[in-house]
Each structure stands twice: as structure tokens, then as C-alpha cells.
Amino acid sequence: MLFDDRLPHKRSTERRWAIQQGVSAHPRRDAGVWVYAPHFVGNPYQQLLMMGMPDVDIAAVGAQQYDEAVAALRSVRHVPGRVWHLHWLNRVLAYADSHAHAQQRIDHFTRQLDTMQQQGVRIVWTMHNVLPHESVFEDLEVRLRELICERAEMIHVMNPDSVSAAAPYFRIPAEKVVRVEHPGYQGYYSRRYSRAGARAHLGIAPEEPVSLVFGGIKPYKGLLELAHMFDDIARRHPRRVNLLIAGDAGDDAGTRELLELATAHPAIHAMPVKILPEDIWPLFLAADNAIIPYKASLNSGALVLALSMGRPVIASPTAGSTHLLAGGAGRLYGSAAELEHLLLDRAWLPAAAAEAQHMAHRMRPEHVSGVFAHVARAFLDQGVAAARAAAGPDGGLDD
């Protein structure tokens, strides 16, 4: 991968602790330590976002578990600029087997946060979702976010509508908010084929129209409903639409019904497997457009990935990150009839593809990560107001 030499590589505990030991020996007293958790090794988002940190004398360290984050922060007590950067909060309650157990986990987690703050650690939260997609204890998920909003000194958002989206559930103090967009994925996934080669590799004829849905096959994404729409459109307009769904599949009833529908369908094709990184580029290159049909989402990595690949997007209004389509890189559909029109009237695609390429340039990861690094440095040195100024008015997107 293009950025392997700069990404904070975290594929082993030994590597993580080697980084921490390096920070401990750092001669600069004004160096910062930025511990982010939970770190998901299989999701490149955090590596891409943190890529510019070394340029501003901040060591970014990923911790897969919260306890590991606490240990890392304690190991560098001598560094005055220490940050605990929280990401997906669903991990706090992920293993709770009762309401009482969930409350105990919240209590334990908030005690950890309070102890770290008392020791000079500053709290930052990246808001990926309003609430987890499949909340079990929604009241406690809301309470957890209220507690985080009270304690976090800076709240990083990507979607400009984040504060209003959260308002029905919890209040986000506007003075704590700093917006920096989701970095693109350019350079992370290798480009191995031409478009013709990618289609040949996947067994897609050159003239076939293909729409791609990429990512884990999960109920909240609305894939079964989308497949039924495609089924209806394909019956009335044979050979004019094809849907390719690619991603690791769960075992819920809706997913089983979806895969059963796709098994013998002439226009709906499913690849219900974990997609290897080297196969991601061919999928997008072979597709005419990506579809993001999510029922309720705040930020969509799949939408950002599609734009990074220069693919036009068709999205539901609730797909997340749809503000990135405002310049024309995609279209929204609110009904089956609108989706049908967008699929059959392909005249909009060339201009949308050109705008998608433009958006890919604006969100290229080396630029967005550089903006976030300067936001982090400004936050450490001068506080959240300076961090907001460093982010700029457009979420760090390049002009």
C-alpha cells in the first residue's frame, strides 16, 4: 500500500509498545501523545486520519481496548500534551448481557475517563454515529453520549448536520465541535486493472450496466428493500439494470432472504464474502455507480470510498455523508420510482463521474490528514477554538 511507510502500523502489540517506548524517550518536551481507541485494524479510517501527526510532533498510538489506552497514557506521564481520542462508543456496551451490566460498564468507563482527566489527559471524541446501528440498551447508549459530551474537550464531526441529528437524543455543545471530513482512500487500495480488465476479471460484459453496493451486508443498510426494488425494475426493464452486492454477510433472516433472492436472479448478484483489499478497486472500477441505500446513518465510509474511486453515487437521503454529493457527484432517491429513473436515465452519469473525481481530489488523504494534524496541534497548544480555526470553513476539504 502506498502509505505503509507513514501509517502508524498497529498489527501487533509489540509494535504499539515500541511506539510508546519511543515517545517516552522523545527529547521534545512539547511533543504530544494522541492515543485513539478502539483501534480497528481492518478499517483504514484511523490510519488515514492520523497519517499527518508526525509532521506536527504528535505520536499517534492506536489501542484496541480501552484498558490498553489507559496503560499507554500512563506510560508517558512526562509528556504534557496527552489526548485520549475516543471513536466508536458501541464497544463500551458491546458485551453487556443485561441492563444492570450495561450500567456497570458505563460506570467503569466514566471512572477511567475521570481518572485520566484528573491526571491531565484531554478527551476528544469522534462522532461516527448518533447511536449504534443496532442498539440493545438505547437509553444507556444515550446516557453514555451525554457523559462523553460533558467530559470531551473537543468533539470531532464529519457531517455538518451532526449536532442537529443528535438533538433528539442528546445535546452536543456547539462550542466543542470541530469538523474535519472523512479522508479519502486514494493510495490505500492498489489499482491493478483497467476498467475493461476489471470487468473481465469479474465476468461482467463491457456493455452491461452495473450498480455496486459495497460493504458488510447488515439489516440497517436496507439491502433487502433495495433488492426488491431492483427485482421489480428488472422485471419491467430486463437487461437494463444489474445490482452487485459485495461484502461479508451476517446470518439474520433478512440477509438470508436477500441471498436467496440473489441466488437465481438474473439482475441481482451477491458476493457474500469478506472482500480482500486487493479486490476492492476492481469492484468499483467495474461498476457504473455505487448505491448507498442505508436506512439511518450519519457518516458513510462506503460513500467516501466510492467518491475516492471516482464513482458516481446514488444514495438514500438517510445514507449518511450525503452532503458530499451536493456538487453533483451523485443523486438522492426517496422512492422506488426515483431510483428507477436514475438507473434507466444514465445521461447524468458522465458529469457526476467528473464531479466524483473532483471530490476525490478534495478529500485526498494526505491533505485531510494534514488538516487534522494541524487541528490536533492547535488543540494541544491553544484549545478548541484554535482547532476550529485550523480546520477551516469546509471541513478540511481542499479547494
- Higher-confidence position of 5 and 215: 215
Does any domain span residue 217?
yes
> What is the C-alpha to C-alpha distance for residues 223 and 243, in angstroms, rounded to an integer?
11
Does any domain span residue 2?
no
User: Taking 90 as the threshold, does the pLDDT of residue 78 lie above it?
Assistant: no
- Higher-confidence position of 323 and 28: 323
User: Taking 70 as the threshold, does the pLDDT of residue 183 lie above it?
Assistant: yes
Instruction: Give the structural domain span for 141.
Output: 13-183+364-391
pLDDT of residue 399: 85
Same-domain check for residues 116 and 220? no
Tell me the helix, strand and coil percentages in the chain, rounded to 5.
Answer: 45, 15, 40
> What is the C-alpha to C-alpha distance for residues 376 and 373, in angstroms, rounded to an integer?
5
Same-domain check for residues 254 and 325? yes
User: Taking 50 as the threshold, does the pLDDT of residue 271 lie above it?
Assistant: yes
Task: Identify which of 278, 308, 285 has the alpha carbon closest to the alpha carbon of residue 195.
Answer: 285
E strand intervals along the chain: 32-37, 58-62, 81-86, 122-126, 154-157, 177-179, 211-214, 243-246, 268-271, 289-292, 313-315, 330-332
pLDDT tier, 18 (very low <50, low <70, confident <90, very high otherwise) = very low
Cell of 59: 505520536
Q: Where are the alpha helices (DSSP H) in 26-177?
A: 45-50, 66-74, 90-93, 99-118, 138-151, 162-166
pLDDT tier, 393 (very low <50, low <70, confident <90, very high otherwise) = very high
User: Taking 60 as the threshold, does the pLDDT of residue 66 lie above it?
Assistant: yes
- Higher-confidence position of 96 and 22: 96
> What is the C-alpha to C-alpha distance for residues 170 and 346, in angstroms, rounded to an integer?
41
Same-domain check for residues 38 and 172? yes
Does any domain span residue 220?
yes
pLDDT tier, 106 (very low <50, low <70, confident <90, very high otherwise) = very high
- In the chain, the number of structural domains is 2
Collapse the DSSP code of 40 into the 3-class scheme (helix H, G, I; strand E, B; otherwise coil) and give the result. coil
Does any domain span residue 1?
no
Same-domain check for residues 33 and 174? yes
Does any domain span residue 3?
no
Same-domain check for residues 238 and 167? no
Does any domain span residue 5?
no
User: Taking 80 as the threshold, does the pLDDT of residue 288 lie above it?
Assistant: yes
pLDDT of residue 86: 98
User: Taking 90 as the threshold, does the pLDDT of residue 29 lie above it?
Assistant: no
Q: What is the mean pLDDT of residues 254-274?
A: 94
pTM to 2 decimal places: 0.91
pLDDT tier, 30 (very low <50, low <70, confident <90, very high otherwise) = low
* Ramachandran angles phi, psi of 86, nearest 5°: -85, 140
Q: Which residues contact 142 (CB under 8 A, 6 or more apart)?
A: 131, 169, 170
User: Taking 90 as the threshold, does the pLDDT of residue 386 lie above it?
Assistant: yes
pLDDT of residue 21: 52
Does any domain span residue 140?
yes
pLDDT of residue 27: 43
> What is the C-alpha to C-alpha distance for residues 373 and 55, in angstroms, rounded to an integer?
8
For the sheet containing 289-292, what is the strand order?
A: 268-271, 243-246, 211-214, 289-292, 313-315, 330-332
In angstroms, what is the C-alpha Rg of the chain? 22
Q: What is the mean pLDDT of residues 54-78?
A: 93
* Residue type at 382 in one-letter notation: Q
Average pLDDT, whole number, for the chain?
91
Same-domain check for residues 22 and 77? yes
Cβ proximity of 363 and 399 under 8 Å: no
User: Taking 80 as the threshold, does the pLDDT of residue 1 lie above it?
Assistant: no
Cβ proximity of 61 and 39 under 8 Å: no
Cβ proximity of 34 and 376 under 8 Å: yes
pLDDT of residue 250: 87
User: Taking 60 as the threshold, does the pLDDT of residue 22 lie above it?
Assistant: no
Q: pLDDT tens digit string along 306-327?
A: 999 999 999 999 999 999 999 9
Does any domain span residue 152?
yes
User: Taking 90 as the threshold, does the pLDDT of residue 39 lie above it?
Assistant: yes
pLDDT of residue 187: 87
pLDDT tier, 51 (very low <50, low <70, confident <90, very high otherwise) = very high
Same-domain check for residues 89 and 208? no
Distance, C-alpha 10 to centroid of its chain? 18
Collapse the DSSP code of 315 into the 3-class scheme (helix H, G, I; strand E, B; otherwise coil) and give the result. strand
Same-domain check for residues 219 and 241? yes
Same-domain check for residues 241 and 216? yes
pLDDT of residue 3: 32
Q: Give the containing element (helix H, strand E) for 15.
A: helix 13-24
Same-domain check for residues 350 and 382? no
Angle subtended at Cα 101 by Cα 97 and Cα 107, rounded to the nearest 5 degrees: 145
Q: Whats the size of the chain, residue-wise?
A: 399
Q: Residue 393: is the preceding peptide bond cis (ω within 30°)?
A: no
Q: What is the mean pLDDT of residues 213-242?
A: 95
> What is the C-alpha to C-alpha distance for residues 329 and 290, in angstroms, rounded to an integer?
11
> What is the C-alpha to C-alpha distance for residues 196 and 205, in angstroms, rounded to an integer?
9
Q: What is the mean pLDDT of residues 8-37?
A: 58
Q: pLDDT tens digit string along 184-208?
A: 999 898 888 889 999 998 889 999 9
Q: What is the mean pLDDT of residues 172-176?
A: 97
Same-domain check for residues 226 and 338? yes
Same-domain check for residues 62 and 144? yes
CATH number for the domain spanning 205: value is 3.40.50.2000
pLDDT of residue 11: 41
pLDDT tier, 349 (very low <50, low <70, confident <90, very high otherwise) = very high
Q: What is the mean pLDDT of residues 128-138?
A: 92
Task: Provide the 8-state DSSP code for 387.
Answer: H
> How many Å is the maximal CA-CA distance in the chain?
70
